Structure 1
Amino acid sequence: MATTSPATVHWGKVGALVGGQAAVQGGSFALLIAMNWTAVQLGGTRAVTLLMLAATVPRALMLIFGGAVADVLGPRIIILRATSARVAVLAAGALVVAGTDRLWPLALVAVVEGSLLGLTGPASGVLLPHFAAREHLARANSLYGMVLRVAPIAGAPAGAWLITVGHLWVALAVAAGSCAVWLGCASYVTRGFTRPRREPGVSLVKRSGDGFRLLAAHPRLRWMFLASFTMDLAFSWPAEVALPLLVTDHGWGVAAVGGVLACFGAGALASSALGAVFAHRIPLFARLVVSGAGLAVGIVVMALMPSVVTLAAVAAGVGLLSGLNGPAIVTVYQQASPEGHMGAAMSTLALAGIGTAPVSIALFSTVSLGLGVQRTWLLCGAVAVLSPVFALFALRAPASADVPAAAVPVPDDSPATV
């Protein structure tokens, strides 16, 4: 699919895209909290683990095909059809759950919902470059990053409230409504998009490997993938596992965990808002390499803090840097992706994030049995140092590269008006 490049930023469509994502992401987080709490009541830890696997494994697997499907069919078809299916599945799930207190409906909804999210993720990730010129793409991504920060902050308490005042079916109905809002916004922002011209003799299975072929052929994409992967690998275990353990070891109380995470979220939200206005004025080297180095230092310093106050203060600083670094990685990745293959490229970037968390938790949890929590946390900081190094290599690599012959798209003769 070809599109005309915007002169600056089509803020109307960017606003609709961000607003729709705010609604659907908030509903998804509310549903996540409600479903996990219900699973705890139905079967304890095993039920929650089953539910998490049911949601994450299909999503990770579908990401492999999601990018290729978006490139072959175009993002409009994928987003509208898959989101319509999500609305139907969540609405049906609400009806089923209203009449039963068993775990299987939750697991079934989680499998289908995770699969559809994996399918639509790369398609959603290719939209912003159509509405923002290259020099303003960082601003649009920072604004989008704000949504990702606000969604769990607003969605988590909303899910807890929904499950206390009603039942799981209420949370499912609300999630279905939020998907319907996103469906309307997506229909507006993708109006005028056309289906790419079909490539004869190229199957979807063959196209599913495009993302990995791009990494092999494109040095800048490869280095940026490694930068994202190492940062997520280093950050997931401290945030999700080590922080509660460290707080417990110091006897600070469970409220400290929430306070530290809140300070991190506030810092990230503030820098994302700043980036939405001034990102195009901040040098890319500062947003990508300097912020990455600061994140690595911040991870190390957090492990050494003697009090909750100092730990929360450092977490806020880490959040500030994260709000600059994350959108910068996405922006460089989008700008380096060959036209017609951005879906495949974004699927590999999504895998670097979604697929890294369980690896990080399993790896560093095992290491911590021998090294202890604090030393393993320091090791995570050392791993994070690799991220700005890889980012520096990416900036020095060619901005574009030849795409393997098997992945070369047939030119589209019908450009869409965006």
Structure 2
Amino acid sequence: MGTTTPAPPGPQPSVDWPRVSSLVVGQAAVQAGSFALLIAMSWTAVQLGGRGAVTAVTLAATLPRALLLLFGGALTDVLGPRAVLLRATGVRVAVLAAGAFVTATTESLWPLVALALADGVLLGLTGPASGVLLPRLASPEQLGRANSLFSMVLRLAPIAGSPLGAWLVVAGGIPGAVAASAVGCAVWLGCAAHVTRGMTRPERPPQGPSLLSRSGDGFRLLAAHPRLRWMFVACFCMDLAFLWPAEVALPLRATDRGWGVGAVAMVLVAFGAGALASAALGALLAHRIPAHAKLVVTGTGLAAGMAAMALVPTAPVLAATAGAVGLLSGLNAPALVTAYQQAVPEGRMGAAMSTFTLSGIGAAPLSLALFTPVSLHLGVTGTWLLCAGLALLSPIAAAVALRGGGTDPAAPRAGARARTAPEITATSV
């Protein structure tokens, strides 16, 4: 990780597509393996100890990950993404390989809990480091395309990983699923080495703040920078609004109407297909679509589509509506991430992405805890409509951010200038 030569003069590409491709391939492998492991561990825990065992494994995986995200962001800003990613991912490969061996030699719950705990800690450390890479590989004008391409991986990973995990449990039990996750993680380690090659450790004052104090940098950034804060609100409101309808309301509606579990699958497939199609379109044309259209127009359409889904009378119409909502989501979600990243002050991307990732993880339990008791009074339809109203706050917040949102003009933003491919290797990350 030594110093590199300055970038040569002359025009340079605005997107380092070879590294972006490595990032996408590596994340596809590790994300699919992680989803396969999640399904396999949940199923195995049920067999070993029922609902209590599943709860123990889930908490072991999620709580340390949420806590370590804050430290992961601080570490990324101090050490740079290369040091954090390569070291933590290398340890994760070793942990998963050892987990495959241990689970093959014993049939008890404790290896699953221990594996989930260690995996959650390592994912928490590497999450922010992964999140800072795309803004380093693409200019501000092209960042939307790169995020659209990356969002396709995130949407495909559970589609591919979930059935893979189920098949691995049937074919070889939990050891096979753990081993498959280790292989995916090893692929990501190799890709991460290529993506971060030449990214050096940032220069910091000898007597800088402690890691513990820096762990709150993400929240301090939100307090200090209105534009970033409004984009965070836009992202969080959309996540919070979507989760309860998808996780709770949809199965309840299918049960009440007698549609069966096939209707749930049909709706989710329609939404996923629409989102994939528009994400692919965004990967080609996102830089040509105005930010207002991607953030405000599609966000308003998402809120209206969610309201329509709450009111449609039949499963086929619900699936068609979900497909239209997916089309809008495939443009809106990457645009929200892109606008958030572009609002981050220079050199603070790790802290900002740790808070952003934490909000995504926290939105799921918060949505369930908030709207489930509300549904006892408003019913499924009324609560679904309430979620649609909450989703409408996202384009409103995005419009405020686009209008300026009180941005501090003295604070340079991450992505405020185009980084060319050779400059990436010489830039402190």
| Same fold by TM-score greater than 0.5 | yes
Superposed, 1:162-181 pairs within 5 Å as 162-181=168-187
1:376 aligns to 2:386 (yes or no): no
- What's 2:105 paired with? 99
Q: Does residue 160 in structure 1 map to residue 169 in structure 2? A: no
Q: CA deviation at 1:74?
A: 0.4
1:183 matched to 2:189: yes
Q: Do residues 220 (structure 1) and 227 (structure 2) align? A: yes
Which residue does 2:20 correspond to in 1?
A: 14
Distance in 2 between the 1:394 and 1:386 partners? 12
Match of 1:45 in 2: 51
Q: Distance in 2 between matches of 1:379 and 1:415?
A: 45
Q: How far is 1:401 from its partner?
A: 4.7
**Is the CA contact (8 Å cut-off) linking 1:289 and 1:391 kept in structure 2?**
yes
Aligned to 1:236: 243
Match of 1:69 among 57, 67, 75: 75
Distance 2:260 2:143 in 1: 42
Alignment of 1:203-352 (within 5 A): 203-352=210-359
Unaligned runs of 5+ in 1: 405-413
In structure 2, C-alpha distance between the alignment counterparts of 1:415 and 1:283, rounded to whole Å: 27
Once residues 416 and 158 of structure 1 are traced to their aligned partners in structure 2, the CA distance between those partners, rounded to angstroms, is: 37
- Structure 2 letter corresponding to 1:236: L
8 Å contact 1:90–1:172 — kept in the other structure? yes
- Whole-Å separation in 2 of the counterparts to 1:261 and 1:142: 20
Following superposition, the deviation at residue 241 of structure 1 comes to: 1.3
Q: Secondary structure at the match of 1:102?
A: coil
**2 CA distance for matches of 1:320 and 1:174?**
32
1:355 and 2:368 are equivalent in the alignment: no
Matched with 1:196 is 202
Q: CA deviation at 1:370?
A: 1.6
Equivalent-residue separation in structure 1 for 2:315 and 2:294 (angstroms):
28
Task: Report the secondary structure of 1:166's partner residue.
Answer: helix
SS at 1:372's partner residue? helix
Q: CA RMSD in A?
A: 1.9
In 1: Cα distance, 2:250 partner to 2:121 partner:
30
Higher alpha-carbon deviation: 3-12 or 259-268: 3-12
- Equivalent residue number for residue 417 of structure 1: 426
SS in 2 for 1:339: coil
Structure 1 contact 242–377 (Cα < 8 Å) conserved: yes
Residue 55 (structure 1) aligned with residue 55 (structure 2): no
Contact 1:297 1:381 in 2 (8 A): yes
For residue 355 of structure 1, give the secondary structure of its aligned residue in structure 2.
helix
Give the distance between the partners of 1:262 and 1:306, measured in 2 at CA.
19
Partner secondary structure for residue 426 of structure 2: coil
Amino acid at match of 1:10: D
1:287–1:266 distance in 2 versus 1, CA, 3 Å? same
Give secondary structure in 2 for the equivalent of 1:135: coil
Q: Distance in 1 between matches of 2:265 and 2:114?
A: 31
* Contact 1:55–1:110 (CA under 8 A) maintained in structure 2: yes
Q: Which structure 2 residue ranges, 5 or more long, are not aligned?
A: 413-422
Q: TM-score, normalised by structure 1?
A: 0.94
1-structure distance, mates of 2:130, 2:39? 24
8 Å Cα contact 2:198/2:424 also seen in 1: no
- Residues 400 and 328 of structure 1, relative CA distance in 2, 3 Å threshold: farther
**How far is the alpha carbon of 1:6 from its aligned partner?**
6.0
Give the secondary-structure state (helix, strand or coil) at the position aligned to 2:18.
helix
Distance, in Å, in 2 between the alignment partners of 1:284 and 1:357 is 27
Task: Look up the match of 1:387.
Answer: 394
Matched residues in 1 for 2:227 and 2:105: separation?
53
CA distance in 1, matches of 2:321, 2:337: 24
Residues of 2 paired with 1:335 and 1:233: CA distance? 22
2:298 alignment partner AA: S
| Cα distance between partner residues in 2 of 1:44 and 1:310 | 37
Tell me the CA shift for residue 283 of structure 1: 0.8
Deviation at 1:403, TM superposition (A): 5.9
Report how far residue 107 of structure 1 moved: 1.1
Between stretches 44-53 and 246-255, larger displacement belongs to 44-53
Match of 2:150 among 141, 144, 156: 144
Aligned mates of 1:267, 1:399 — CA distance in 2: 34
Q: Residue in 2 aligned with 1:409?
A: none
| 2-structure distance, mates of 1:305, 1:112 | 44
Query: What is the match of residue 117 of structure 1?
Result: 123
The amino acid that maps onto 1:123 is: A
- Note if contact 2:70-2:354 (Cα within 8 Å) is conserved in structure 1: yes
**For the Cα contact (< 8 Å) 1:194–1:415, is it kept in 2?**
no
Are the counterparts in 1 of residues 16 and 138 from structure 2 also a CA contact under 8 Å? Answer: yes
Structure 1 pair 46–403 and aligned structure 2 pair: CA distance change class (3 A): farther
Check 1:182–1:400 CA distance in 2 against 1; reply closer, same or farther (3 A cut).
Answer: farther
CA distance in 1, matches of 2:424, 2:252: 54
CA drift at 1:369? 1.5
Counterpart in 2 of 1:407? Answer: none
Pair 1:85 & 2:91 matched: yes
Q: CA deviation at 1:317?
A: 1.0
Query: In structure 2, do the counterparts of structure 1 residues 401 and 93 end up closer, same or farther at CA, with 3 Å as the change threshold?
Result: farther
Matched residue count: 409
1:379: Cα distance to partner? 0.8
Distance across 2 between alignment mates of 1:372 and 1:46: 29
1:195 counterpart SS class: coil
Identity %: 65
TM-score, normalised relative to structure 2: 0.92
Q: How far is the alpha carbon of 1:201 from its aligned partner? A: 3.2
